[in-house]
């Protein structure tokens, strides 16, 4: 049997789910098409499955239940954020993955064979409970009730595995809106001493008392914590490269609150596709600050490739309406303070970290809970 997409979606709306994000699969086609076409629903297309998990996690921080959808062949891309973001920070998301290559099921392409065998086991291995996606209307309510009960009690994700033809066909009616690019003149970097990471972060803190700040994993989060631990700051752990997607979800859920993402060159390069999602969605309240020291500082100073990549030009090409090169902490500070649209702030910093950086004494769950409380106070 099959269900209509509307049957499932209507039930999720009753339970407070407000954002859908993911990467398409032919099994998901009617489902995603319906969500995109329905004007009362919101869908953010992600460049890869891990970014979708991070977008949903950010929206959850902003108070919006979210659903992540993807093909099981991309399940591996989600393991990092699911295990080191959702499970560590206790972020519940409903995860729907398809079962391409189902053992004993319909014939499928050879690349799906192994993943079809291990998809249920991956959920088990990550300690994420799951159930089969309902293929009968009367099962929709009970399955979603089970998922929400787990998410509310344990604050961790719940999975649904969708078999072929679980949802009846829905032809996509919508068309993507073409968004013009802002011309960006590529100017050379000034030949001047580069500021340190801490100098730039201190300047950031001067103008972010009323902003939610998401700091990428590694020395950036630890240095921000060392300068001044604040309830409006989130220090990412693991989930490298997911800070900007996390910020996108949060900015979408909290449009009246400025969100500042502090990214690193190694992390940004790892998930460069996130730039395209950000540049298309263009949340006016998000400032993406890239601290680029051209090395993986926290792992021994190995070089990244950012010395030969113009990441500011990449952001402009991906649709960021405002892109700035900043050479001093003061320029970074002013760029954040004056931002009124999606802005990319690229600053070259000196590699290295003076002295030993403390690790946060607050746990990830404490960090996210106090930030959630801080956001609620200003809602």
CA–CA distance, 374 with 379 (Å, rounded to integer): 9
pLDDT tens for residues 79-89?
999 999 999 99
What residues contact 187, with CB distance under 8 A and at least 6 apart?
325
What pLDDT score was predicted for residue 190? 77
- Alpha carbon distance 174, 32 (integer Å): 11
The predicted-structure confidence for 147-198, as pLDDT tens digits, reads as follows 999 999 999 999 999 999 999 998 988 888 888 887 777 677 778 889 999 9
As a whole-number percent, the residues of the chain with pLDDT over 90 amount to: 86
Place of tokens 């690019």: 181
At 78-127, the pLDDT tens digits run 999 999 999 999 999 999 999 999 999 999 999 999 999 999 999 999 99
Q: Are 1 and 12 spatial neighbours (Cβ–Cβ below 8 Å)?
A: no
Structure tokens at 138: 């009367």
**Does the pLDDT value for residue 379 go beyond 70?**
no
Q: Which two tokens stand for residue 180?
A: 């013009």
CA 94 to chain centre: 15
Torsion of CA 303, 241, 129, 11, to 10 degrees: -170
Q: Can you give the pLDDT at residue 186?
A: 62
Asked if residue 335 lies in contact with residue 345, where contact means CB atoms within 8 angstroms, the answer is: yes
pTM of the model: 0.96
Length of the chain: 379
Kindly give, in sequence order, each residue whose CB lies less than 8 Å from that of residue 10, ignoring residues fewer than 6 positions away.
Answer: none
- The number of angstroms, rounded, from the C-alpha of 331 to the middle of its chain's C-alpha atoms is 27
- Please give the distance of CA 315 from its chain centroid, rounded to a whole number: 17
Could you tell me which of 77, 103, 81, 104 has the C-alpha nearest to residue 93? 81
Contact present, 228 and 266 (Cβ < 8 Å): no
pLDDT in tens, 8-37: 999 999 999 999 999 999 999 998 999 999
How many angstroms separate the CA atoms of 160 and 68, rounded? 10
Q: Hunting for tokens 């950086």 — which residue is that?
A: 357
């Amino acid at each position: 049997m099959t269900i209509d997409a509307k049957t499932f979606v209507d039930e999720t709306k009753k339970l407070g789910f407000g954002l859908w994000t993911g990467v398409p699969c032919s099994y998901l086609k009617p489902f995603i098409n319906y969500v995109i076409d329905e004007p009362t629903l919101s869908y953010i297309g992600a460049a890869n499955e891990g970014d979708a998990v991070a977008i949903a996690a950010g929206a959850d921080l902003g108070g919006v239940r979210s659903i992540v959808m993807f093909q099981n062949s991309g399940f591996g891309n989600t393991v990092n954020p699911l295990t080191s973001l959702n499970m560590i920070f206790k972020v519940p998301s409903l995860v729907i993955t398809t079962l391409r290559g189902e053992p004993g099921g319909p014939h499928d392409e050879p690349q799906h064979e192994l993943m079809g065998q291990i998809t249920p086991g991956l959920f088990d291995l990550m300690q994420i409970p799951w159930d089969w996606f309902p293929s009968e209307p009367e099962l929709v309510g009970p399955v979603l009730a089970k998922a929400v009960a787990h998410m509310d009690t344990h604050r961790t994700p719940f999975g649904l595995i969708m078999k072929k033809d679980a949802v009846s066909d829905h032809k996509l009616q919508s068309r993507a809106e073409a968004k013009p690019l802002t011309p960006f003149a590529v100017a050379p970097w000034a030949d001047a001493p580069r500021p340190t990471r801490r100098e730039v972060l201190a300047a950031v803190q001067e103008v972010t008392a009323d902003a939610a700040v998401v700091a990428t994993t590694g020395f950036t989060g630890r240095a921000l914590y060392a300068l001044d631990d604040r309830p409006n700051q989130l220090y990412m752990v693991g989930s490298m490269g997911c800070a900007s997607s996390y910020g996108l979800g949060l900015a979408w859920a909290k449009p009246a609150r400025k969100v500042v993402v502090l990214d690193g060159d190694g992390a940004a390069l790892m998930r460069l596709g996130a730039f395209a999602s950000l540049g298309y969605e263009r949340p006016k309240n998000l400032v993406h600050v890239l601290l680029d020291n051209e090395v993986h500082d926290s792992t021994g100073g190995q070089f990244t490739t950012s010395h030969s990549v113009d990441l500011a030009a990449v952001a402009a090409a991906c649709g960021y309406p405002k892109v700035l090169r900043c050479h001093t902490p003061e320029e970074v500070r002013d760029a954040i303070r004056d931002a009124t649209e999606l802005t990319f702030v690229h600053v070259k910093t000196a590699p290295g970290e003076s002295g030993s950086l403390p690790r946060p004494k607050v746990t990830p769950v404490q960090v996210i809970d106090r930030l959630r409380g801080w956001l609620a106070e200003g809602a």
